[in-house]
Copies of this chain bind each other. A is one copy, B any other.
Amino acid sequence: MKIVEIRNATAPIRSKIANAYIDFSKMTASVVAIVTDVVRDGQPVIGYGFNSNGRYGAKGLLAERFIPRLLEAAPDDYNGEHGLDPHKAWNLMFTNEKPGGHGERSVAIGVLDMAMWDAAAKIAGVPLWRLLADRYRDGEVDSRIFVYAAGGYYQPGKGLEALQDEMRRYLDRGYSVVKMKVGGTPLDDDISRIEAVLDVLGGDGSRLAVDANGRFNLDQAINFGETIAPYGLRWYEEPGDPLDYALQATLADHYSGPMATGENLFSHQDARNLLRHGGMRPDRDILQFDCALSYGLVEYLRTLALLPDHGFGPRNVIPHGGHQMSLNIAAGLGLGGNESYPDVFHPFGGFADGIVVEDSRVGLPDAPGIGFEARAALIALMREVTET
């Protein structure tokens, strides 16, 4: 097969929300379309990819380096035993890139990698979760995937009642586990917010995760942890700077409940440093690496492969991002679940049309590829911005 063309577009995913670190008023996402010469159902197969929220689109990097490297390559250099080979394509993209410094380019390559896997599964005529399960897990698939509703952002004028209403809407839509932002307001206010949400959850802390988005220093992280410990929360996410492994490890000495982090680590080398130095505990803690920000699934497979060296396994992994790519990976490779943003980042986040959340679990679409064509608003947007 041959890559005929790669379209490179940017779409806004702006929102009025804010977490403890940034607001999303100017957030963008890259959208790429890899047009192949393979025909299915009378149409050329097109693989689509985008980056998930929190990092910006990478249009310049895609145009300057990564798309040219693919288009200048001979088809033999990206074709393997199954045809289009995302691993070989990855090596092409990373040619003449120095080690270290894993950010931004990890988004650019992640977007193209997503489109590669979408195209590869479409060419194979199967959903990506099936392709992954057959290729890497002896065919076993998780048919119902744990998802939780990530929300509880800070917004101007949003009080406790609005926060509770938001959480009730998630429950009404089938989620039983929710997540809220913390760290963007004084501790007392956050505690009031947590207690307000717990009221909605019948007081069950195991149904509520909190996310500080890296805002705390060590003392604040410990103080916050000790303050919330009695609630028995689902997890305490990204307390300090994502690269401050020593903070995370010290917090583990003071907070016995589950911790979660990893969404801002964008390579297997960074992930390994968390596992080596971050004090994360395989029996309870959650790893949130997001392939769409971190060089894609090819690199994600490297990250998953090193988990057992540190006592972890795929069930420890619940990716950040709330996109269908991670849902496919969760189902096909047996991860612990997937994030979901019921109210924001649409249509990039969310599941195929008609997929119902029940008891915080979702099923899978049968469409070939990642499933974008089964999500009308998303495929329409991606076709529009890439003019495909």
Q: A64-B60, A277-B277 are in contact. Are A100 and B242 (CB under 8 A)?
A: yes
A138 and B276 CA atoms in complex are apart in Å by 41
Number of interface residues of A (CB under 8 A): 49
Q: Complex: how many Å from CA A210 to CA B291?
A: 36
**Is A104's CB within 8 Å of the partner chain B?**
yes
Separation of A241 and B101 alpha carbons in the complex (Å)? 11
Query: Do B214 and A99 touch across chains, with their CB atoms under 8 A apart?
Result: yes
Please indicate which of the listed interface residues A23, A104, A241, A267 has the most CB atoms of chain B within 10 Å of its own CB: A104
B21–A264 touching, CB < 8 Å: no
Segment 274-306 of A: residues with Cβ below 8 Å from B: 276-277, 293
Instruction: Decide if B100 touches A26 in the complex (CB within 8 Å).
Output: no
The 0/1 profile, CB within 8 Å of B marked 1, for residues 18-48 of chain A is 0001111111100000000000000000000
B residues within 8 A CB of A349?
none
CB distance from A150 to the nearest CB of B (A): 15
Contact status A266-B64, CB under 8 Å: no
Q: In the complex, what residue of chain B is closest to A56 when comparing beta carbons?
A: B65
Q: Which of A77-85, A154-162, A243-251, A361-369 contacts B (4 or more CB under 8 A)?
A: A243-251
Decide if B273 touches A245 in the complex (CB within 8 Å): yes
Contact, CB under 8 Å: A64 / B56: yes
A270 is an interface residue with CB less than 8 A from chain B: yes
Smallest CB–CB gap between A101 and chain B, Å?
3
- Within the complex, the shortest CB–CB distance from A247 to chain B, in Å, comes to 10
With a CB–CB cut-off of 8 A, which chain B residues contact A100? Answer: 103, 214, 241-243, 264-266, 270
Known: A269-B241, A277-B277. A101 touches B99 (CB 8 A): no
- CB contacts under 8 Å to B, within A228-274, are 241-246, 264-267, 269-270, 272-273
Distance of A148 from chain B, by nearest CB (Å): 21
Q: How close is A77's CB to chain B, nearest CB, in angstroms?
A: 16
**Which of B57, B243, B245 contacts A267 (CB under 8 A)?**
B243
Q: What are 11 A-B pairs at a CB distance below 8 A?
A: A28-B64, A55-B101, A56-B64, A99-B241, A100-B103, A100-B242, A100-B264, A100-B265, A101-B266, A103-B103, A241-B269
